[in-house]
Structure 1
Amino acid sequence: MLLLAVDTATPAVTVALHDGRDTVAESNQVDARRHGELLLPSVDRVLAEAGLKLDALTGIVVGVGPGPYTGLRVGLATATTFAAVLGIPVHGLCTLDGLAYAAGAAGIEGPFTVATDARRKEVYWARYEDPLTRVGEPAVDRPADIAEQVAGVPAVGQGARLYPQVFTDARDPEHQSAAALAALAAHRLEAGLDFLPPAPLYLRRPDAQVPKNYKVVTPQ
């Protein structure tokens, strides 16, 4: 088994190779505006570090969000293209689940909350009983509106750091890690569990919309 994991659903541009037991190589950069510029060089870098080529891969793992439209589509488009060209499966995982798995590796057993920055003074978030068990579906909300639901438990992710008045026990990890995402995928493959399709989990409409009262001008 050799998995290439990528995630661009958060400000982190993160890539990792995983052999089913351990991380072989990884690259992590935080830059919310350069996902498209950084992702492919990061893939090249981890492959070079491992002394491998793309044709050695047996599967692709991709974080499907939730996340902002522009960044999220970079990772998904790259993952699905690699999988199609190489003829290998692509496994989608919730980005928040990857952060939860990383929280477990950092010693957080649960219950806890994962929260990432959704912009517009909102967070993408979910509650977890433990690093492998999410409670309900991911959501997007203003932190003040979920204060009672997240009170009294640790929280990980950049969203928790941005709103300390609500997430009063913010802990590491702050950013997504493709190494954790790949390790979670390896665990799920070994257990015979299902994956999400490689489709974006936006949770809300894109910022760009057709203006109201838009007039279409066509030749007579």
Structure 2
Amino acid sequence: MLVLAFDTATPAVTAALHDGDRVLAESTTIDARRHGELLVPSIREVLREAGAALGDVTAIVAGAGPGPYTGLRVGLMTAQALAATAGAPAYGVCTLDALAYAAGLSEPFVVATDARRKEVFWAEYADARTRVTEPAVDHPGDLPAGPPLVGAGARMYAAIVGEHRLAPDAPEYPSAGALAALAAERLAATGGADGDAVLTSPRPIYLRRPDAREPGPPKKVTA
């Protein structure tokens, strides 16, 4: 098994290669405006560092969001293009799941990422591997009260949600290493033979319309 994973649903442009037992190489850059410029060089770098070629990859996994429209599309379209080139299946994994997995908590908690517009994308987890609610978008003050919070969406609104609720040492952004490890674990559950049974296709998780709008008809000008 050789899993190539990457995520562009947050300001972190992250890529990693995993052999089913461990992360062989990983690259992460925090830059919310350069997903399209940084992703492919990051993928090339992790392949080079691991001494692997794209043709060696047996599965391609992209973070499926939720996230801002443009950045999210970069990762998912790249996954589809590389899958066609490498002849390997492409899958999508919820970005919040990757953050939860990296947090490694065994108690209930909430993952929240920045959704802009003073909102957060979030989901609730029973533990690091078990999501118990569908991803949602809300104002920070509407997050469930009580459980610890993980992710940059919680940290940036600590004054609202309560700084004491921020899980110590938890990651702010998803890691492609965690994304790859989670995907490899799910694939191994079926012997790697039927990824569709445990992973979804690389489709974006959109929770609202993109900021861009088609221009309307020109306004009429009257004398």
What does 1:139-218 align with in structure 2 at a 5 Å threshold? Answer: 139-146=136-143, 149=144, 151-164=145-158, 165-168=160-163, 169-171=165-167, 172-192=170-190, 193-212=197-216, 214=217
Secondary structure, in 3 states, of the residue corresponding to 2:203? coil
Match of residue 129 from structure 2: 132
Q: Are the counterparts in 1 of residues 140 and 154 from structure 2 also a CA contact under 8 Å?
A: no
Q: Are the counterparts in 2 of residues 13 and 35 from structure 1 also a CA contact under 8 Å?
A: yes
Deviation of 1:115 after TM superposition, in Å, equals 0.3
Distance 1:6 1:177 in 2: 8
The worse-fitting range, judged by mean Cα deviation, of 80-89 and 167-176 is: 167-176
Match of residue 218 from structure 1: none
Match of residue 32 from structure 1: 32
Match of residue 113 from structure 1: 110
Structure 1 runs of 4+ aligned residues shifted over 6 Å read none
Distance 1:30 1:209 in 2: 27
Distance 2:156 2:4 in 1: 30
Gaps of at least 5 residues in structure 2 are 191-196, 219-223
Deviation of 1:167 after TM superposition, in Å, equals 4.7
Distance 1:5 1:205 in 2: 26
Match of residue 123 from structure 1: 120
Amino acid at match of 1:204: R
Q: Are the counterparts in 2 of residues 64 and 92 from structure 1 also a CA contact under 8 Å?
A: yes
Of all paired residues, the percent bearing the same amino acid is 62
Distance 2:29 2:107 in 1: 27
State the TM-score, normalizing by the size of structure 2: 0.90
Amino acid at match of 1:173: P
Secondary structure, in 3 states, of the residue corresponding to 1:52? coil
Amino acid at match of 2:166: A
Could you give the per-residue CA deviations for residues 129-179 of structure 1, whole angstroms, max 9, x where no partner exists?
Answer: 011111120000011123xx1x22111111011111215321311111000
Distance 2:65 2:162 in 1: 21
Secondary structure, in 3 states, of the residue corresponding to 1:137? coil
Distance 2:46 2:142 in 1: 41
Amino acid at match of 1:159: G
Aligned residues: 209
1:167–1:94 CA distance, 2 compared to 1 (3 A): farther
Gaps of at least 5 residues in structure 1 are 216-220
Could you give the per-residue CA deviations for residues 76-128 of structure 1, whole angstroms, max 9, x where no partner exists?
Answer: 11111000111110111000000010011xxx212000000000000000000
Deviation of 1:211 after TM superposition, in Å, equals 3.8
